[in-house]
């Protein structure tokens, strides 16, 4: 049971990291290049 929880936690942390990276990328594009990509979809 604990291995299952550990895998779920690892997946959630990985997903959260990817989500934060995408948000940071969109913020950087907007700030430095004045390109708005907030409504675009990305592949993980």
Render pLDDT for 15-40 as a digit per residue (tens, 0 to 9): 999 999 999 999 999 999 999 998 87
Rounded distance, CA 34 to CA 28, Å?
9
- Whether the pLDDT of residue 42 is over 90: the answer is no
Q: What band does 41 get if pLDDT is binned at 50, 70 and 90?
A: confident
Q: Residue 30 half-sphere exposure, CB side, CA atoms within 13 Å?
A: 11
Domain boundaries, the chain: 1-44
Quickly list DSSP for the chain: -HHHHHHHHHHHHHHHHHHHHHHHHHHHHHHHH----TT-----
């Amino acid at each position: 049971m604990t291995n299952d929880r550990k895998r779920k936690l690892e997946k959630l942390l990985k997903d959260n990291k990817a989500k934060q990276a995408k948000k940071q990328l969109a913020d950087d594009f907007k700030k430095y290049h004045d390109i708005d990509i907030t409504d675009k979809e990305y592949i993980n």
